């Protein structure tokens, strides 16, 4: 089977859970004998770690890095991508993002690409991986969402990564909606040796008595980092041994969706505690990310809007107990209250503080929850099952089931 993955953003330069999971999924499918090509945007020569996987990458012309050049590249990309469909003739098109500079250009570009797919006979798939808002997982309200509904009417399958997302998608697209939850790389995110854990802690000036809270995600209010910063400020007063490790983009240069002024605002409670806070920045190296998670003690993820929440699953696979905002049908899919972690309400600083404090004061509880979390990920969200589910969908759509 030949699959074409069309995504305007790609690594390096772009950072997001769904994109990373998609790339690793396609690499696993290549190992199973399928052919996968990636159509993505041209980039300026970068000093960042380049993509070194097994996918065949074809990039659009770069133009130049001025505002005009970036806009032109976005406008031209879907037309160029459509032409690549005729060249590649895949069995299936997995549509990510066509770029676009606004809802109208995004809609027109998507319609052109999907029409090209129809003409070549390729089946089409799109993933709904993030709730539209805190109130609605999926909606047609608003101009942008209305434009999206136009081109989604052409897609063959809409895959939602959690029950809450799929429930709302099914209201609008009952026939083509399907749920495939995210998988966790339990082969990569696993328990490391105590020696490896200790070495990384020593390298980052962590003493044996220190308890390390770990956060993974963009430094934004959507991820609840403002809540975490305030909670950490409170907790340190009574627990001076506490440390905070922050993994993820912290500036617009690392992630174009980050607002530098917002970062300055939400990290302000930590300025006086800078000797207790370590910022790792964007970590593209996945094995290194797994090692950092392994060296922590408690994973904290107070996000207010998600599609699935991959980061807590990766932390659980590394044996960490988690404290997480409860987003029904999303985060409670993985986390079992009192068994693998603790919940707080989205936006509830006091609730987050109380939950973290409970784990700080009980090492035995941390260990039990960490072990149960690892077990749950392996049994319910393992990587092999995730790949099986996607492979079956692709083969069925392409009518290549033997």
* Digit-coded pLDDT (tens) for 384-400: 999 999 999 999 998 85
Question: ω before 12 within 30° of 0 (cis)?
Answer: yes
R_g of the chain, CA atoms, integer Å: 21
Which domains are assigned to the chain?
A: 2-183+383-397 (3.40.50.2000), 194-380 (3.40.50.2000)
Provide the whole-model pTM.
0.89
Q: In 152-231, at which residue ranges do the beta strands (DSSP E only) sit?
A: 157-160, 177-179, 211-216
Q: What are the pLDDT digits (tens) for 125-152?
A: 999 998 898 889 999 999 999 999 999 9
Token representation of residue 69? 């050049």
Contact 184, 313 (CB under 8 A): yes
Beta strands (DSSP E) in 150-265 are: 157-160, 177-179, 211-216, 242-247
Is it the case that residue 33 has pLDDT exceeding 90? yes
CA 230 to mean position of chain CA atoms: 24
Q: What is the pLDDT of residues 346-374, one digit of tens each?
A: 999 999 999 999 999 999 999 999 999 99
Asked if 86 contacts 116 with a C-beta cutoff of 8 angstroms, the reply is yes
Q: What is the pLDDT of residues 177-227, one digit of tens each?
A: 999 999 999 999 998 877 888 999 999 999 999 999 999 998 999 999 999
pLDDT tens digits along 269-304 = 999 898 999 999 989 889 999 999 999 999 999 999
Residues in a beta bridge with 129: none
The pLDDT score that the predictor gives to residue 47 is 43
Taking each helix axis from N to C end, the angle separating 363-380 and 310-317, rounded to the nearest 10 degrees, works out to 110
Pick the closest to residue 9 from 225, 17, 1, 189 (CA basis): 17
Q: How far apart are CA 84 and CA 76, in angstroms?
A: 13
Torsional class of 115: left (φ above 0), alpha (ψ -120 to 50), beta (otherwise): alpha
**Element holding 163 (H helix, E strand):** helix 163-172
Q: Tokens 């989205």 label which residue? A: 346
Query: And the tokens for 214?
Result: 């770990």
Place of tokens 């990309």: 77
Quick one: DSSP state of residue 139?
Answer: -
Helix (H) or strand (E) segment spanning residue 4: strand 2-6
């Amino acid at each position: 089977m030949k699959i074409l993955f069309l995504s305007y953003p790609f690594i390096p330069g772009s950072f997001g859970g769904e994109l990373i999971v998609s790339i690793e999924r396609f690499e696993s499918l290549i190992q199973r004998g399928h052919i996968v090509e990636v159509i993505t945007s041209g980039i300026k020569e970068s000093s960042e770690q380049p993509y070194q996987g097994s996918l065949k990458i074809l990039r659009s012309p770069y133009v130049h890095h001025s505002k005009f050049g970036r806009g032109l590249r976005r406008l031209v990309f879907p037309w160029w991508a459509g032409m690549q469909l005729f060249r590649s003739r895949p069995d299936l098109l997995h549509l990510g993002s066509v770029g676009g500079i606004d809802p109208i250009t995004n809609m027109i570009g998507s319609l052109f690409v999907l029409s090209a797919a129809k003409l070549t006979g390729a089946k089409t798939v799109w993933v709904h991986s993030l709730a539209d808002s805190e109130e609605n997982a999926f909606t047609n309200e608003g101009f942008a969402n209305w434009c999206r509904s136009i081109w989604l009417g052409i897609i063959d399958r809409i895959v939602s990564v959690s029950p809450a997302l799929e429930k709302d998608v099914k209201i609008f697209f009952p026939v083509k909606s399907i749920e495939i939850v995210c998988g966790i790389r339990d082969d990569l995110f696993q328990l490391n040796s105590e020696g490896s854990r200790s070495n990384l802690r020593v390298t980052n000036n962590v003493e044996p008595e220190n308890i390390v809270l770990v956060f993974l995600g963009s430094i934004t209010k959507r991820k609840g980092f403002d809540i975490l910063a305030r909670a950490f400020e409170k907790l340190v007063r009574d627990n001076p041994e506490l440390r905070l490790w922050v993994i993820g983009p912290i500036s617009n240069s690392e992630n174009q969706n980050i607002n530098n002024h917002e970062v300055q605002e939400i990290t302000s409670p930590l300025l006086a505690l800078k000797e207790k806070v370590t910022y790792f920045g964007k970590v593209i190296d996945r094995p290194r990310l797994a090692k950092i998670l392994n060296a922590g003690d408690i994973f904290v993820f107070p996000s207010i809007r998600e599609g699935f929440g991959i980061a807590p699953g990766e932390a659980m696979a590394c044996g960490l107990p988690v404290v997480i905002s409860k987003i029904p049908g999303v985060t409670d899919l993985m986390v079992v209250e009192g068994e693998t972690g603790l919940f707080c309400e989205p936006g509830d600083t006091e609730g987050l503080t109380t939950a973290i404090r409970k784990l700080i004061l009980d090492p035995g509880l941390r260990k039990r929850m960490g072990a149960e979390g690892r077990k749950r990920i392996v049994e319910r969200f393992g990587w092999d099952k995730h790949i099986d589910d996607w492979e079956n969908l692709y083969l069925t759509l392409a009518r290549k089931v033997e």
